[in-house]
Amino acid sequence: MDRVQLDELTLVNFRNIQKAVIQPCSRFNVISGQNGMGKTNLVEAVYLLGALRSFRTTKRSELIFHDAPKAKIKGRFGSLLAGLNCEVDIEENSRAVTADGKRVSASGHHFQMLPMVLFHPQVMELVQGSPDARRRFIDRALFQADVSYPSLFKSYTRVIANRNRILKDGLPDRRALYPFDLQLAELGAQLVRLRYDFIKLMEPFFIEAVTKISDGGTASMTYQPKIEGDKDAFLKALDARFQRDCALRYTTGGPQSDDVLFTLNGHEAKKFGSQGQQRTLVLAAKIAETRALTGSTGRIPLLLFDDVSSELDKGRNRHLFEFLQGMGGQVFITTTHRDYIHIDGERKDFAVEAGGFELLTE
């Protein structure tokens, strides 16, 4: 199976990394170092090449080494993307991306070309957190799985913002809202359908993973739309919510407030799951995301696991490594203790200290 494979990464003035060139291997890359040394910074840089945004901040200035004017991330990819050079230039007020010298926009093609799955300590929010953490999960996956999703998502977000602006001003004229209702219904119905279908695609992988990790227990992952159905169903629902929307002064229904429900043995995991069970579900959800994305994009996503040992206990770690071993694909794992990482097979170890990387040889 083809994979997203980073053959060389060059960083200049990215966070605390003033200059680094690393050549990862095609399978396991283990980055170890004490806290505050730059492990997450490296993961953030790799992720940025695919997602074109950071998972930690929306402030570009934070990504640039203190007092430097700009940061640069350069990735040379191999495998099916043989020779692709992707560059991200970050300045305080701008960000420019090129692939083989050509300007890249934040479109579905880029995300589909370089799918990545990220697992980091805050990922527990997926079960424990508020619905927006779950919407981010499904949206992020769909940005990569479906070429049409990024622009659909953007258009929908714009319609909601415009509709909410009218509602916020108070006493909206129903006719003034109608053009927005039409667009909302059209785009919202498509968005819900794509999310619903992708959750359905992931669910069997999710159930299988939960069974493997926890030796029993039945789990489910279901999309919970506030409004579902076609355009007409949306229009009807908007009509029914009109008074409430006016009273609350925002759009109360639609995919912008939908949720994903995780259950274990018939009970909502967020409310009734133990910490251990919640961890199992989160790990299973990331496994499901990886497998579903592999199917949709025709390639194994690049897998980024930041500081997993802190979130997963021994048993779940073992399961994770088994999964990664069987999945194939290129993996980056960061850890404070490299002896925690039990992996056989092709592996490169890097030590990081104060933003400097060194290849370790046994």
Residue 119 binds to ligand ADP (criterion: CB under 6 A):
no
Rounded least distance, CB 309 to Mg ion, Å = 12
The footprint of Mg ion (CB under 5 A) covers 39-40
Nearest Cα neighbor of 81 from 289, 299, 291, 290 is: 299
Rounded least distance, CB 15 to ligand ADP, Å = 4
Q: Which does 175 bind (CB under 5 to 8 A by kind): ligand ADP, Mg ion, none?
A: none
CA-CA distance, 302 to 25, in Å (whole number)? 12
Which residues are within 8 A (CB) of 121 and not within 5 positions of it... i.e. 6 or more apart?
A: 306, 307, 310, 311
Rounded least distance, CB 329 to Mg ion, Å = 22
Q: Of 34-42, 94-102, 161-169, 272-280, which segment contacts ligand ADP by CB under 6 A?
A: 34-42
Q: Of 21-29, 37-45, 83-91, 218-226, which segment contacts ligand ADP by CB under 6 A?
A: 37-45
In total, the chain counts a number of residues equal to: 362
Question: CB-wise, 15 or 27, nearer to ligand ADP?
Answer: 15
* Near ligand ADP in 9-28, by CB under 6 A: 15-16
Residue 122 binds to ligand ADP (criterion: CB under 6 A):
no
Is 73:95 a contact under the CB 8 Å cutoff? Answer: no
Kindly state the tokens that stand for 226. Answer: 């506030």
Kindly state the tokens that stand for 8. Answer: 């060389």
Question: CB-wise, 42 or 90, nearer to Mg ion?
Answer: 42
Residue 102 binds to ligand ADP (criterion: CB under 6 A):
no
Nearest Cα neighbor of 292 from 198, 228, 224 is: 198
Question: CB-wise, 123 or 202, nearer to Mg ion?
Answer: 123
CA separation, residue 285 to residues 168, 191, 314, 347 (Å): 37, 20, 19, 25
Residue 32 binds to ligand ADP (criterion: CB under 6 A):
no
Q: Which does 33 bind (CB under 5 to 8 A by kind): Mg ion, ligand ADP, none?
A: ligand ADP
Which listed residue (28, 47, 55, 65) binds ligand ADP by CB under 6 A? 65
Q: Given the structure tokens 């009807």, which residue do they identify?
A: 236
Which listed residue (32, 40, 251, 278) binds ligand ADP by CB under 6 A? 40
Q: Of 29-37, 79-87, 112-120, 135-143, which segment contacts ligand ADP by CB under 6 A?
A: 29-37
Residue 33 binds to ligand ADP (criterion: CB under 6 A):
yes
Which residues are within 8 A (CB) of 346 and not within 5 positions of it... i.e. 6 or more apart?
A: 25, 26, 27, 28
Q: Of 64-72, 100-108, 212-220, 338-346, which segment contacts ligand ADP by CB under 6 A?
A: 64-72
Rounded least distance, CB 36 to Mg ion, Å = 8
Number of residues counted as binding ligand ADP (CB under 6 A): 14
Q: What is 280-305 written as a DSSP string?
A: HHHHHHHHHHHHHHHHHHTSBPEEEE
Rounded least distance, CB 59 to ligand ADP, Å = 10
Rounded least distance, CB 91 to ligand ADP, Å = 13
Which ranges constitute the DSSP H helices of 215-241? 231-240
3-state secondary structure of 182: helix
Residue 70 binds to ligand ADP (criterion: CB under 6 A):
no
Helix (H) or strand (E) holding 188: helix 174-214
Q: What residues form DSSP beta bridges with 112? A: none
Is 165:250 a contact under the CB 8 Å cutoff? Answer: no
Residues that bind ligand ADP (CB under 6 A): 15-16, 33, 35-41, 62, 64-66
